[in-house]
């Protein structure tokens, strides 16, 4: 209940802060101001963000999402709520990773919705008439004419590198029935642009619930262009099928995200299948760890002279890797195991000493099972996302380096220092989220490993 109340109070503070801003305050300033307030609000609760590695580097893209009901508890003023999911996307994701909250598409207020109007008028978002929220006095012709302005305003935003946040449903739903049917409007718009913009699907779950009931969840999926579906114009015969396909895929995404899966069941099943399909298991170099390993797509190509197997799974903690070790390694007899772990444990608030001790316990477990195998432990990388944890990261790496000097089977790979230049983190080696490596980052990691593997293997 404390989480619920804390979030409500923070949302109320944000609402009253925005409506009380002076009239001369620009809408850009309002959007920035709101984003900072909403970030503070969501810091009060747990929000699981997955797939941040899928965020594109460019701006001027379309972020679509499945729009969820707001819980009535989060009413910040008479008959008015700040929509949690759309505010989270613009304020937390876009502002955090792009320093620009973008623009949104918001329905016009009904005549009696004074708080809705006074709030959203400040932002100068793109306004449309929604099906169930249209003044009765308006004719269909007037509504159609007004809504047509959307296309011009949206195109202008994208041309100015301002990203657009949009729900294709035109209505909100509960998580277990989300998403509703997708309307074609945004997809027609995207198809008809001279240079088709990227469309980034964002999957939302549990934002219709209280945070004390279920964790808010958000997953960024790989971006696409409508041309990927064979749609190159708004009158393409393939448009309807493409929208239906995206809609159906969304249903599965929401279902998968909403299921509690703290035990990595789906990911472990994928890894077991990968092991089963691995025909040659002789002299294996198993790469085991969290998302830095999981996202290494070119592992086989990067080490053509080694028989590699990628067993990384995203979000893994040290205890997760330890818990699944026996389950994943029953029939394997690796020549070497390359580890990347410990970074995610920083989010648990553990001390550097505790994280290092947990790693050592896991190393001992590996050595007891495979006494002849070499273990290569990759130092935790410095990242922009965890810049406030650099002191801890360096201490963990230092402790592991010292321990590696006492254990003949353990080799510590110094990856940290290779990600630093002139005492600063090399931003050019990261994806947009500032946490995961890009292709250049993996080249640096490959080089760091090669310095050890080919000398010692």
In this structure, the answer to whether residues 42 and 159 fall within a common structural domain is yes
In this structure, the answer to whether residues 184 and 321 fall within a common structural domain is no
In this structure, the answer to whether residues 250 and 270 fall within a common structural domain is no
| Structural domain span for residue 398 | 265-456
Residue 429 belongs to a domain with what CATH number?
3.40.50.1110
Q: Last residue of a domain, which of 258, 286, 321? A: 258
Q: Last residue of a domain, which of 211, 239, 258? A: 258
| pLDDT tens digits, one per residue of 82-108 | 999 999 999 999 999 999 999 999 888
In this structure, the answer to whether residues 318 and 358 fall within a common structural domain is yes
pLDDT at res. 261: 62
Q: Where do the H-state alpha helices sit in 44-91? A: 84-88
CA–CA gap between residue 175 and residue 352 (Å, rounded): 38
The helix (H) or strand (E) run that includes residue 410 is strand 410-413
Given a cut of 90, whether residue 264 has pLDDT beyond it is no
pLDDT band for position 262 (50/70/90)? low
CA–CA gap between residue 104 and residue 227 (Å, rounded): 24
In this structure, the answer to whether residues 199 and 82 fall within a common structural domain is yes
In this structure, the answer to whether residues 301 and 386 fall within a common structural domain is yes
Rounded to 5°, the CA angle 46-202-5 comes to 30
pLDDT at res. 139: 73
Range name among 79-93, 108-122, 210-224 with the lowest pLDDT average: 108-122
In this structure, the answer to whether residues 184 and 298 fall within a common structural domain is no
In this structure, the answer to whether residues 323 and 393 fall within a common structural domain is yes
pLDDT band for position 454 (50/70/90)? low
CA–CA gap between residue 72 and residue 76 (Å, rounded): 10
In this structure, the answer to whether residues 189 and 334 fall within a common structural domain is no
What is the tally of structural domains in the chain? 2
| pLDDT tens digits, one per residue of 183-218 | 999 999 999 998 999 999 999 999 999 999 999 999
State how far the alpha carbon of 445 is from the alpha carbons of 52, 318, 374, 381, 388, in Å.
20, 20, 19, 10, 22
Given a cut of 90, whether residue 10 has pLDDT beyond it is yes
Mean pLDDT of the chain, nearest integer = 93
Reading the block at residue 229, the tokens are 């579906």
């Amino acid at each position: 209940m404390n989480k619920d109340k804390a979030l409500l109070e923070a949302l109320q503070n944000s609402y009253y802060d925005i409506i009380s801003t002076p009239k001369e305050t620009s809408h850009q300033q309002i959007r920035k101001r709101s984003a900072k307030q909403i970030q503070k609000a969501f810091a009060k609760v747990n929000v699981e963000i997955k797939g941040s590695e899928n965020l594109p580097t460019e701006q001027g893209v379309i972020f679509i999402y499945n729009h969820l009901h707001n819980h009535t508890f989060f009413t910040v003023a008479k008959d008015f709520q700040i929509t949690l999911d759309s505010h989270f996307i613009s304020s937390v994701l876009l502002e955090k990773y792009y320093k620009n909250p973008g623009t949104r598409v918001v329905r016009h207020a009904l005549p009696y919705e004074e708080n809705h109007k006074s709030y959203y008028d400040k932002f100068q978002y793109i306004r449309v008439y929604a099906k169930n929220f249209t003044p009765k006095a308006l004719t269909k012709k007037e509504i159609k004419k007004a809504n047509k302005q959307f296309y011009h305003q949206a195109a202008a935003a994208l041309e100015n590198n301002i990203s657009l946040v949009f729900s294709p449903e035109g209505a909100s739903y509960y998580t277990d029935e989300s998403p509703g049917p997708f309307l074609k409007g945004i997809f027609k718009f995207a198809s008809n642009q001279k240079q088709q913009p990227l469309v980034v699907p964002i999957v939302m779950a549990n934002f219709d619930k209280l945070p004390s009931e279920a964790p808010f969840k958000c997953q960024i999926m790989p971006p696409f262009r409508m041309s990927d579906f064979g749609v190159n114009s708004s009158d393409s015969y393939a448009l309807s099928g493409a929208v239906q396909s995206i809609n159906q895929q969304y249903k599965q995404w929401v279902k998968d995200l909403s299921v509690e899966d703290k035990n990595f069941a789906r990911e472990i099943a994928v890894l077991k299948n990968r092991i089963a399909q691995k025909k040659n298991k002789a002299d294996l170099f198993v790469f085991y760890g969290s998302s830095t390993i999981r996202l290494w797509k070119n592992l086989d190509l990067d080490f053509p002279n080694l028989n590699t197997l990628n067993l990384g799974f995203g979000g893994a903690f040290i205890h997760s890797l330890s818990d699944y070790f026996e389950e994943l390694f029953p029939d394997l007899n690796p020549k070497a195991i390359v580890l990347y772990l410990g970074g995610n444990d920083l989010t648990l608030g553990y001390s550097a000493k505790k994280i290092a001790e947990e790693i050592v316990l896991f190393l001992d477990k590996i050595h007891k099972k495979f006494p002849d195998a070499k273990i290569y432990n990759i130092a935790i990388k410095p990242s922009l996302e965890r810049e406030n944890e650099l002191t801890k990261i360096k201490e963990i790496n230092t402790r592991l380096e010292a321990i590696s000097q006492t254990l003949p089977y353990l080799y510590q790979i110094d990856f940290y220092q290779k990600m630093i230049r002139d005492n600063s983190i090399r931003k050019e080696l990261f994806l947009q989220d500032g946490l995961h490596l890009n292709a250049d980052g993996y080249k640096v990691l490959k080089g760091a490993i090669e310095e050890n593997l080919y000398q010692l293997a």
